[in-house]
Every structure is written in C-alpha cells, then in structure tokens.
Structure 1
C-alpha cells in the first residue's frame, strides 16, 4: 500500500521503433480518503502543463486523474526517475511564483470560470512540503 504524496511509474511501453513511453503516477492525495477540489486541480493542470516544458523537453502530457487525487505525467524516451523528481520539484516551485493561470479564458479553456491560482499554489506548496516522501 502506498501513502500520498508519491511519484511512481504507473506504466512503461516500448514502441515498434524503440521509443519508450513512461507514465508516472503523481499522487497528491490519498486515494479513497481525500481529493483535490476541482478549481484548484484544474488550475494546477494548466500551470504545470505550461511550466513543466521549461524544464523537460521530453514531457508528452500532464493530465489529471478523474478521481481528483493526482495527475499522470507521460514522458518520451526518458527513464531517469531521479530527474523526474527534480523536474517536478522545479515545476512546483515555479507554480508558487506564477501570477496567473495560463489559458484560463473562454477561448482556450472549456471551463474558464473554474480556476483558482491560490488553490493551485496551495496544492503545489503542500506537495513540495512533503518532497522527502515522494519516492
């Protein structure tokens, strides 16, 4: 049994041409005990999806779990767990410095009214506060 927060490999697939896709389970809340509120989760999704690419060109996707307890981080041809933790740490630190939620407007977001920068930053801060427990 695992205890949130944590980061672990959820899946690893090798393509026909040798490419490797790794999907990480980035868990913020303990499953079946707690969850993130939707505006905070939604805003953190936008922030991380934008910011994480400043730290890692191999990121394919950052997507929320339907259960609202975490996110999936998908990367291509990169299998260094320690570096993934470092990228997540740098990204969450950048979230704390953000002045706005990117793409939180009606043209770029399907639910533009459902955002909170403060909520996203609170999630990032709580995740960072337990950095030693991620692995």
Structure 2
C-alpha cells in the first residue's frame, strides 16, 4: 500500500490547534499543489460533531477563498479534528494561520445563517446536518487557544 504522510504523523505529539504543511506535489503533467493540515482539536481527545464541522466546511469554502487565491479544496478529516487545505499557491503555515484566524473571527462574531452557503437540498448532499451554533462555538474555542504555525510547539500567530 502507498504510504500516506498524514498516517505517519505521530498524533500523540502534536499540539492543536495548528496549521502544518503536509507536502507539496508536482503533477504528472505540470502544476504543483500544496496540502496543509488545519488541526482544530487535539487528536484522540475531542472531535467536532458532524453538524458543526459540516457548517465550518461550507463557511471555510467561501470565506477562505475570499481571502486567498488558489484554494482548490478545504475538506474535513474523517476523524473530525480538522481539515485538509489544498492550494495551488505555496502559502506558509503562518500566512494560513493568520488568514484562518480572521475567518474564524468572522464565524464567531458576524456570520449569520443566511451567510452559510449551499444549505438547500439542491446544493448539499446532507443539507439537514448543519449547525451554525456549533460552528460558531468551535470558532470561539479555537480562537481562545490561538492557531499555531508549528504542530509540535505552541507558536500562536496573531492576525
């Protein structure tokens, strides 16, 4: 089986919340993508409930793209502790942590239900499983701890 970098990470050693560069890959026909680990909760201790992480996913999809160019995808981890961020642009973990801090502030304070994109049956494959309340509360929890640009040492980035 192919080795997956994320599966080689010692999840007992990381200190969430953080942003981490996973890898950059060259495509077989050109192009280069960069994959990041946005870890919002401590692995194996706390998982974000599906309705909250689902709403965060929809909000990140729009709000992060409003701030950064070249975002391909922002997808939740199956373990529900964070997200992959895939980009054409090679951002530093510090740049991403700054941007995500600003986005989390918006979610925690100003976003309304009407701001959550793609919440209808036609737009979403599980439209009933959303919670802005949960997304807002998780944003507040992460902001209170601060996002680090280092997964092993807490180095909180200010934005």
| Superposition TM-score, scaled by structure 1 size | 0.90
2:74 pairs with 1:38: no
- The 10-residue stretch of structure 1 (77-86 or 45-54) with the greater mean CA deviation from structure 2: 77-86
Q: What is the aligned residue count? A: 135
The CA RMSD measured in Å over matched residues stands at 1.6
Q: Is the 8 A contact 2:101 2:147 kept in 1?
A: no
Distance (whole Å) between structure 1 residues aligned to residue 20 and residue 126 of structure 2: 30
Structure (1 or 2) with the larger CA radius of gyration? 2
Structure 2 residue ranges without an equivalent (≥5): 1-12, 151-159
Q: How does 1:60-99 map to 2 (within 5 A)?
A: 60-96=72-108, 97-99=110-112
Distance (whole Å) between structure 1 residues aligned to residue 86 and residue 39 of structure 2: 14
Q: Which residue of 2 aligns with 1:128?
A: 143
Q: How does 1:2-81 map to 2 (within 5 A)?
A: 2-16=14-28, 19-81=31-93
Structure 1 residue ranges without an equivalent (≥5): none
Distance (whole Å) between structure 1 residues aligned to residue 38 and residue 124 of structure 2: 23
User: Per the alignment, in what secondary structure is the counterpart of residue 44 of structure 1?
Assistant: helix
Q: CA deviation at 1:132?
A: 5.2
User: Per the alignment, in what secondary structure is the counterpart of residue 23 of structure 1?
Assistant: strand
Q: Which residue of 1 aligns with 2:134?
A: 119
